Amino acid sequence: MVKIGIMSFAHLHAYSYAQCLNELPEVEFTAIWDDSPDRGKEASKKFNSKYVADIDKFLSLPLEGVIIPSENAKHKYLAEKAAVAGKWILCEKPLATTIEDATSIIQACKKAGVGLGIAFPCRFIPSIVKAKEYIQSGKLGTLLSISCTNNGTYPGGWFAEKELSGGGAVMDHTVHVVDLLRWMLGKEFNDVYCELGNQVHKGKFDVDDMGCLQMEMDGGIQISHIASWSRPKSFPTWGDVTMEFIGTEGVLYLDAFNQKLNVYSDFAMKTEWSFWGDNSDLIMIQDFVKSIQEKRDPLATGLDGLRAVEVTIFAYESAKIGKKVKIKKSRI
Amino acid sequence: MNVGLLGCGTMGRLHATMAEQCGLKIAQCSDAVAQVGKSLAKDFNARFVKNWEDVVKSKDVDIVAIATPTPLHFPMLDLAIKSGKHIFCEKPLCRTVKECKTIIQKAEKNKTKLFVGHVVRYFHEFESLHEQIKSGKIGEVGFIKMYRGGMPPRGAKNWFSDFSLSGGVTFDCMIHDIDWLRYVFGEVKTVYCQNLIQKDCAPLDYSQVTVRMKNGLLALLIGSWAHPSGFYVKVEVCGSDGLIYYDNKETSLELQQRNQNQTVGTIVPESPVAKSPYQKEWEDFINWIQNNKEPKVSIVDALKAVEIVDACLKSAKTKQPVNL
């Protein structure tokens, strides 16, 4: 049995990860730490796992790995503590809210000799895996351009508090797509132009709820990306991940979560899309468990997390100065 | 009133049909490819004239309709204004901002009624979208995404593939969405554009344009001449209290025909309406001529649209945003 703990239920994804841990027969979901005792205790009851209030006591348990779905800005503190305690780490995305924090986490994990992975579950969605195969087998010829979206609903709470989140929709919804493209194409991002703003939630909070990024990857591939919290409460689902690939030999359109039933229920009084595709969180957690057993990094590594953070940070820089900017890549 | 049609290709034929449905007569037509011109002349019982100048100058012609490749618009407009004709001109007005301005000056001086075919304003789905937005159904609009395109178009001598002639998908096709954005949301502040045709990918082009409007609205426009098949129009409007989405793939009619020779038949989707948007724009134009009622599209609108797409091409070249 691989013993795993969760550090913080601040991010909603924690509930899905906890569920996954309980579903896997090779895993013991040993303990929960949370800086909010109420939230931690409630999760403890819900998932039948022990709540430990003291972080050092939690880390002294014989846990082999921890998942960190805390507020973005707390990743550094928690991950570095877990690394020192010798735990394998799966950190919620984005890895950190600054490039400095991201590199610091990576170095701490290296020093401690522990594996570090980033929660990029989209890499495990079967249609994305298939799209990667199509692209790599040359079905599209030479890739020329890509248009992407990662839209969502406003998540509320700490996501709109810049000190905890590091930023709004661009911070939240850029990294998935950036990571996917790096992974699918095996190429890096070189520059970014970004326009962003509080476009649809004016007056409700200060951070951006919408970003429009234009980027260029190795080989001059031109990319547009929408990072948003623009889906209204009445929208039939939480959001989307879509990509349109334009190549010399063809076009590939990907709508990763378009595996759904249309549900019209008088109880909900709105149309709902009921997703029936695979649970990519579960496949990701399985990879994390394996990485512990095999003493390797999970599929999406700390470096992958850093590269995605860099694109995001330079997108904010571009928006600030109103110009296209080069994406500087830190050495690790 | 009699129409003299310049350019008898796909759009020329469409406009001839619309003009006829509005009760006008296609008296004369001209096309650089005589066969194409003669074929249209036969179908519309018109006279084919070899030199377009003769059509424009003819006493038998009241309205000059221009549906030729973009660079020909300028000399044709110029002569038609001089000859005192009313003019229907396909978008874009001219290939350069300077030409547009010259034409506007001359048209204003001569009191020419010059209508430019920014037809998207007349499309049922876009009129309905405009009404939904105006009614406040989704609150204050903060973002809009517009997508238009499909296969690279085929024109005479492949003129669409020549960037200097057509300006690519941005100048020729996305100009529809640019015009509609201005029509509904006002003036543009900044554009940023990436495209393929300025990187020598013709006949393929794929254009991604970020637009910041003066009122703060943010937009992403995508234009494609990069698909192996089909034609796609998608619009997403995000507001403070809702979202509107349109996709032309959802149609009201789809005809599937068995093909005896091949295993796969053909599928033709369509969304028929009682009155085509092209006929609506012609009616608007004719109403201007006959009753002096200003049409939905002004000549200044046509200039502004060209200014914006021209700024997009500058941005793609310099790889930096361009302020209008």
ipTM reported for the complex surpasses 0.90:
yes
Residues B80, B209, single domain; the answer is no
- Tell me, what's the pLDDT at B267? 77
Residues B221, B90, single domain; the answer is no
State whether A224 and B196 contact (CB < 8 Å): no
Residue B61 covered by a domain? yes
State whether B192 and A250 contact (CB < 8 Å): no
Write out pLDDT tens, residues A278-314. 999 999 999 999 999 999 999 999 999 999 999 999 9
Of B62, B88, B117, which one is at a domain's C-terminal end? B117
- Cross-strand pairs, A194: A213
**Mutate which of A139, A151, A191, A193 to disrupt the B interface (most B C-beta within 10 Å)?**
A193
Considering the domain A122-276+309-326 in this protein, what is its CATH number?
3.30.360.10
State whether B142 and A202 contact (CB < 8 Å): yes
Residues 6+ apart with CB under 8 A from A194: A170, A211, A212, A213, A214, A315, A316, A318, A319
> Mean per-residue pLDDT for A199-207?
94
Of A210, A232, A324, nearest to B143 by CB-CB distance is A210
Considering the domain A2-121+281-301 in this protein, what is its CATH number?
3.40.50.720
> How far lies B153's CA from each of A78, A203, A247, B235, in Å?
56, 45, 18, 21
- Tell me, what's the pLDDT at A8? 98
- Tell me, what's the pLDDT at B257? 87
- Cross-strand pairs, B143: B218, B238
DSSP per residue, A95-144: S-SSHHHHHHHHHHHHHHT--EEE--GGGG-HHHHHHHHHHHTTTT-SEE
From A86, A91, A92, A77, select the one nearest A109 (Cα to Cα). Answer: A86
Cis bond leading into A236, ω under 30°?
no
Residues B174, B137, single domain; the answer is yes
CATH number at B31 reads 3.40.50.720
Residues 6+ apart with CB under 8 A from A249: A138, A139, A140, A141, A142
Contact B145, A151 (CB under 8 A): no
Of B117, B134, B169, which one is at a domain's C-terminal end? B117
Residue B18 covered by a domain? yes
Q: What is the total count of domains within chain B?
A: 2
Q: How far is B241 from chain A (nearest CA, A)?
A: 6
Residues B306, B232, single domain; the answer is yes
Residues B195, B221, single domain; the answer is yes
| Distance of alpha carbon A6 from alpha carbon A52, whole angstroms | 10
Q: The whole model's pTM is what?
A: 0.96
Buried b (16+ CB within 10 A) or exposed e, A189-200: bbbbbbbbbbbb
Residues B242, B151, single domain; the answer is yes
- Tell me, what's the pLDDT at A76? 98
Residue B188 covered by a domain? yes
From A155, A187, A169, A180, select the one nearest A226 (Cα to Cα). Answer: A169
> Mean per-residue pLDDT for A20-37?
98
Residues B92, B165, single domain; the answer is no
Q: Which of A96-110, A118-132, B112-126, B252-266 has the lowest mean pLDDT?
A: B252-266
Q: Does A250 touch chain B (CB under 8 A)?
A: yes
- Tell me, what's the pLDDT at B266? 73
Q: Does A197 touch chain B (CB under 8 A)?
A: yes
> Maximum CA pair distance of chain A?
58
Of A199, A224, A246, nearest to B143 by CB-CB distance is A199
> Mean per-residue pLDDT for A121-148?
98
Q: Does A12 touch chain B (CB under 8 A)?
A: no
Q: For residue B68, what are its two tokens?
A: 């030729």
> What range does the domain containing B144 cover?
120-273+296-323
Q: Does B132 touch chain A (CB under 8 A)?
A: no
Residue B287 covered by a domain? no
> How far lies A31's CA from each of A43, A68, B278, in Å?
10, 12, 67
Residue-range domain boundaries for chain A: 2-121+281-301, 122-276+309-326
CA A135, chain centre distance (Å): 23
Residues B151, B113, single domain; the answer is no
- Tell me, what's the pLDDT at B258? 85
Residues B128, B258, single domain; the answer is yes
Q: Alpha helices of chain B — where are they, by DSSP H? A: 10-21, 34-44, 52-57, 73-82, 97-109, 124-134, 163-166, 168-172, 175-185, 277-291, 299-318
pLDDT of chain B, 324 residues: tens digit per residue: 999 999 999 999 999 999 999 999 999 999 999 999 999 999 999 999 999 999 999 999 999 999 999 999 999 999 999 999 999 999 999 999 999 999 999 999 999 999 999 999 999 999 999 999 999 999 999 999 999 999 999 888 899 999 999 999 999 999 999 999 999 999 999 999 999 999 999 999 999 999 999 999 999 999 999 999 999 999 999 999 999 999 999 999 999 888 777 667 777 778 899 999 999 999 999 999 999 999 999 999 999 999 999 999 999 999 999 999
CATH number at B240 reads 3.30.360.10
Residue B282 covered by a domain? no
| Distance of alpha carbon A35 from alpha carbon A70, whole angstroms | 9
Residues B100, B140, single domain; the answer is no
| pLDDT averaged over every residue in chain A | 97
Q: Does A231 touch chain B (CB under 8 A)?
A: yes
Write out pLDDT tens, residues B65-79. 999 999 999 999 999
Type of residue numbered A304: D
| Distance of alpha carbon B299 from alpha carbon B312, whole angstroms | 20
Q: Does B151 touch chain A (CB under 8 A)?
A: no
